[in-house]
Amino acid sequence: MPPRRIDPIGDESDSDVSIFDDFDESGRGKGKGKGKGIDRNKKDKGKGKAKEQPYAWEASYTRSWDTVQEDEAGSLQGAVADLIARGRRRRLLAPAAAIRRTIIRHLILILDLSSAMMDRDMRPTRFDLMLQYAREFVTEWFDQNPLGQIGVVGMRGGLGERVGEMTGNPQDVLKAISERHKLEPSGEPSLQNAIDMARASMSHLPTHSSREILVVFGSLTTCDPGNIHDTLAECVKDRIRVSVVALAAEMKICREFCDKTGGTFGVALNEGHFKDLLFELIPPPAQRAFARASSGAPANPAADLMLMGFPTRLPETSAAGLCACHSQLRSAGFLCPRCGAKVCDVPTDCDICGLMIVSAPHLARSYHHLFPVKPFQPVMSLEGTQNPSVGCHACAAPFKEQTAGAAGAADGVSPLGRYRCAECHNDFCTECDVFVHDVVHCCPGCGK
Amino acid sequence: MDRASHLSTIVDLSPAQWTLSGSAPKERHSLDLQSFLSQLLIFLNSHVACKDQNTLAIFGALPGRSVMLYPSTTQAAGSNSADANTYRPFKVLDSTVIDSLSKQVEALDASETEAPVGLVGALTKALCYINRVAALATENDQTVAVDPRILILSVSPDQSASYIPIMNSIFSAQKLKVTIDVCKVYGPDSVFLQQAAHLTGGSYIHLDRPDALLQYLTMSFLPPPSIRQLLAVPTQDKVDFRAACFCHKRIVDIGFVCSVCLSIFCQPVPVCSTCRTKFPIKTLQRLNAARPTILTSAATPTSGNASTFPSSTTNRVATTNGNGPNPNGVR
């Protein structure tokens, strides 16, 4: 096969796409909408401004086709495999230090329902894509934050509109955003009205829980009744963290909201990047700096010791009894460990003695954020290791014998495909390395 | 029905517990390791026989570590001469399991036989294995190894210290849609394994007659989960949703929880040991006042040896009694 020249535009539209779809969204050079225009601009005119960083929010955006190198045979396979391995390891290298995380979370999801959402620069429309990702976001969010609550507010026709009440039940939230015809976009959005509404619905929450607002913003304008900087000041005062995912471009007021309240701001470059930006907000945030500053005082208002009960679950087959919450005759339920009252569902507060009843698995779901698995060290060479293991310690897949080329040596990628746990000195394959850190959160060798 | 299924079996091989199980009086229907293994092998053979594409992996939880018994990493099974009277896959399976098992048991040091078994390691290895099998299947665009499940044959009591890793494994099993079945052959009910079976939709069975193990296995654990919906598989009557506290690894039913990191403590503490948060002194006083008095006296003697597993029933009774007089102490 003759060596093939890599053409940036041609490459982005065929072979690269399928691979980077899954593994390296941010590195994907898809030229939908703005991206494409910029590329042409760069190619045709090569003007200084468009050359390196066309827009401020694209600064961290690397063009994968610039970094891909062919090997001697002119094949891209090695380079692609390397990129995939790199993309997998990228997240694992993030510091696993921040142990103070807010775990009882309250989030208001603000969805832009203005006419700008009917734009088709994201397929099928911004609006449909937003709804689809919002559903996935809610499911994943509740999976990782079982004690959290989500409310939904829409921005439409210059008003803030309550779409779903704050609730801890993922089904209720999903139901609120499932009916597309009720959310049909129209008119102008109003950032101030929506944020004020979100703020008001979170004002009664206890201090030890987090208050967050996530705005999905497609419009480039906002139509506000007053001074939005007052709203910003109120949010800072109430310690509400505002994060914005913009679909069009960076707006100064959005950036300011995020910077001042400690949230994150991002502009979605393409469909995959949009999803990445949303899903980055799922893990519980590390506690903010100024909350820690106030903990210097003897009593930290942001933290408290809570009394919680772990109930016993009664099966469907047990003798029926009246539940304490609805006074209905039911056989299934949970028994309060302190007063023995029967409640229908957990987590809840016992109606008789007021004890907070949670099931232990609810709490345990969050523990992997607190006790992360230490990153495995890539094994660079087998020198100095006495009789190295033949296969992966976890899945027993045999390791490859030869090195995978010098290109993979940097960037925390092992040329041997071996990753070693610092505690138990067992070797794991790439597959298990990622699986252990992303899903299991427990090293098979040392059980920690 | 027509799909193949994958079964990962985890065998608890604690020498101490098996000795106890084998030496129990005959009228209690005791089961020793030898007959356990022969009954287990029949069950595994019947799993292989059920369908051609059925796959099997066996993991052993030994004191302090865990190993994969089958498929064997070292190729030894081929050396066995064919037996005219045995179906070859059965022969390979049986000899591999027995070979690697005896090798592992011989390698055991007498000093470590008392150590707790590496159940967590075996469980995570089983998950990693299933993950790899599933990844391979999607790569080759086959639909092998659908309905993966894990069967745990347990004889050891709960180890409170491994609460977090076990829960993490359970959640990843949920994510992978792996059903975890638990067969408690000997010993008291295991709180963690009950939760594992409940959360993943498997069944937890505590054997009343351990010597009839094979019958329990074939009747309840042989059919894959998709068929079990049509069958009346024994279910759990009560699931215990209690957790182990972080300070003494004791199993508690009322705990004190840090609002920042959700660490559970069995008594009010001024500073969270996990995230170093200081708690307001007012809360401490309030909680101390509301605390049942009996719990305090019960807690002091056991606090010295953190690793002991307190009998769940006595602990439970103590708390309920202690809470009787002042049910509205807090709030």
Which residues of chain B does A314 touch, with a Cβ-Cβ cutoff of 8 Å?
238
Confidence of residue B317 (pLDDT cuts 50, 70, 90): very low
User: Which 3 state secondary structure label does DSSP give B127?
Assistant: helix
- Please report the residues numbered 206 through 235 in chain B whose beta carbons come closer than 8 angstroms to any beta carbon of chain A: 235
Which of the pair, B235 or A297, is modelled with greater confidence? B235
Across residues B250-265, what is the average pLDDT? 81
**A-interface mutation test, from B139, B164, B245, most A Cβ less than 10 A away:** B164
Look at B277 and A364 and tell me if their CB atoms are within 8 Å. Answer: no
Distance, in angstroms, between A279 CA and closest chain B CA? 17
Between chains, do A308 and B254 touch, taking CB under 8 Å as contact?
yes
Q: Is B93 on the interface with A (CB under 8 A)?
A: no
Q: Using a CB–CB cutoff of 8 Å, tell me whether B195 touches chain A.
A: yes
- Shortest CA distance from B268: residue in chain A: A305
| The pLDDT value given to residue A402 | 59
Q: Would an 8 Å CB–CB cutoff place B171 in contact with chain A?
A: yes
pLDDT computed for residue A191 by the predictor: 93
Are residues A363 and B283, on separate chains, in Cβ contact within 8 Å? no
- pLDDT for B127: 92
Average pLDDT, chain A: 75
pLDDT of B32 over the 90 cut: no
Strands (E), B192-317: 204-206, 239-240, 243-244, 251-252, 254-258, 264-265
A290-327 confidence digits (pLDDT tens): 444 343 333 345 567 888 888 888 877 778 888 887 78
In the predicted structure, residue A410 carries a pLDDT above the cut 70: no
% of chain B surpassing 90 pLDDT: 17
* Count of CB atoms situated within 10 Å of the CB of A356: 16
**Could you tell me the CATH superfamily of domain B4-228?**
von Willebrand factor, type A domain (3.40.50.410)
Domain residue limits, chain A:
104-279, 308-369, 372-448
- B331 interfacial to chain A (CB closer than 8 Å): yes
Mean pLDDT computed over B111-140: 84
Q: Which residue has the higher pLDDT, A128 or A445?
A: A128
Ramachandran class of A354: left when φ > 0, alpha when ψ lies in -120 to 50, beta otherwise: left
Q: Where are the domains of chain B?
A: 4-228, 242-296+304-331
Task: Give the per-residue pLDDT at B99.
Answer: 87
pLDDT, residue B296, reads: 42
Residues of B in contact with A444 (CB under 8 A): 66, 121, 124-125, 128
Query: What is d(CA B257, CA B263) in angstroms, rounded to the nearest whole number?
Result: 6
Report the C-alpha gap between B256 and B270 in whole angstroms: 11
Distance between CA atoms of A146 and A160, rounded to whole angstroms? Answer: 27
| Helix/strand/coil for A357 | strand
Over residues A93-122, the mean pLDDT reads 78
- Chain A CB contacts of B287 under 8 Å are 305, 307
The predicted structure's pLDDT at residue A114: 92
CB of B268 less than 8 A from some CB of A: yes
pLDDT at A206 over 80: no
Rounded CA-CA distance A357/B319 in Å is 15
Report CB contact under 8 Å: A391, B73.
yes
Nearest to B189 by CA among B142, B236, B149: B236
What pLDDT, in 10s, does the model give residues B136-188? 777 766 555 567 899 999 998 888 778 888 988 998 998 888 999 999 998 88
pLDDT score, position B74: 55
Of A109-118, A153-162, A251-260, A326-335, minimum mean pLDDT range? A326-335
User: Do B148 and B133 form a contact (C-beta atoms < 8 A)?
Assistant: yes
If contacts are CB pairs under 8 Å, which of residues 14-43 in chain B contact chain A? none
CB-CB under 8 Å, A441 with B263? no
Which residues, in sequence order, are CB contacts of A297 under 8 Å at separation 6+?
none
What is the structure's pLDDT at A348?
Answer: 73
Mean pLDDT is lowest, of A267-276, B81-90, B198-207, B295-304, for B295-304
Cα–Cα distance, B147 to A397 (Å, whole number): 21
**Span B23-39, average pLDDT:** 84
Contacts of B256 in chain A (CB under 8 A): 305-308
Task: Give the model's confidence band at A247: pLDDT under 50 very low, under 70 low, under 90 confident, else very high.
Answer: very high
Q: What is the dihedral of CA B59, B60, B61, B67, to 10 degrees?
A: -80
CA–CA min distance A398, chain B (Å): 9
pLDDT, position B312: 38
pLDDT at A296: 37
- Is the CB of residue A268 less than 8 Å from the CB of residue A243? no
**Of A315, A340, A371, which has the smallest distance from its Cβ to B237's Cβ?**
A315
- CATH architecture label of A104-279: 3-Layer(aba) Sandwich (3.40)
Ramachandran class of A32: left when φ > 0, alpha when ψ lies in -120 to 50, beta otherwise: beta
Half-sphere exposure of B40 (CA within 13 A, CB side): 28
What's residue A294's pLDDT?
Answer: 40
Candidates B268, B327, B328; nearest CB to A305: B268
Cβ distance B269 to A305 less than 8 Å, yes or no, reads yes
3-class SS of residue B191 = helix
Strands B65-70 and B55-62: antiparallel
Instruction: Give the per-residue pLDDT at B177.
Output: 86
pLDDT of residue A359: 80
Which range of A232-241, A387-396, B63-72 scores highest in mean pLDDT? It is A232-241
Are A426 and A420 within 8 A, CB to CB? yes
A83 has pLDDT over 60: yes
**Residues B238 and B214 sit within 8 Å (Cβ to Cβ):** no
User: Where does chain B show beta strands of DSSP type E?
Assistant: 5-12, 55-62, 65-70, 146-154, 179-184, 204-206, 239-240, 243-244, 251-252, 254-258, 264-265
Is the separation of the CB atoms in A152 and A177 below 8 Å?
yes
B259 touches chain A (CB under 8 A): yes
What is the chain B residue with the closest CA to A298? B280
* Helix, strand or coil, per DSSP, at residue A350: coil
Report the chain A residue with the minimal C-alpha distance to residue B200.
A361
Q: What is the mean pLDDT of residues A415-438?
A: 83
**Chain B interface, mutation test: which of A307, A369, A426, A429, most B Cβ atoms within 10 Å?**
A307
CA distances from A110 to A212, A216, A270, A280, B252 (A): 11, 6, 20, 17, 40
Share of chain B above pLDDT 70, in %: 81
Q: What one-character DSSP code corresponds to residue A391?
A: B
Of the listed ranges A22-26, A264-268, B91-95, the least confidently predicted one is A22-26
Superfamily the domain A372-448 falls into = Zinc/RING finger domain, C3HC4 (zinc finger) (3.30.40.10)
Residue B73, phi then psi, degrees to nearest 5: -80, -35
If you average pLDDT over residues B269-284, what whole number do you get?
A: 80
Helix (H, G, I), strand (E, B) or coil at A377: strand
* pLDDT higher than threshold 60 for residue A188: yes
Residue A171 has pLDDT above 50, yes or no: yes
| A338, A355 contact by CB (below 8 A) | yes
User: Is pLDDT of A254 > 90?
Assistant: yes
Does the model's ipTM exceed the 0.90 cut?
no
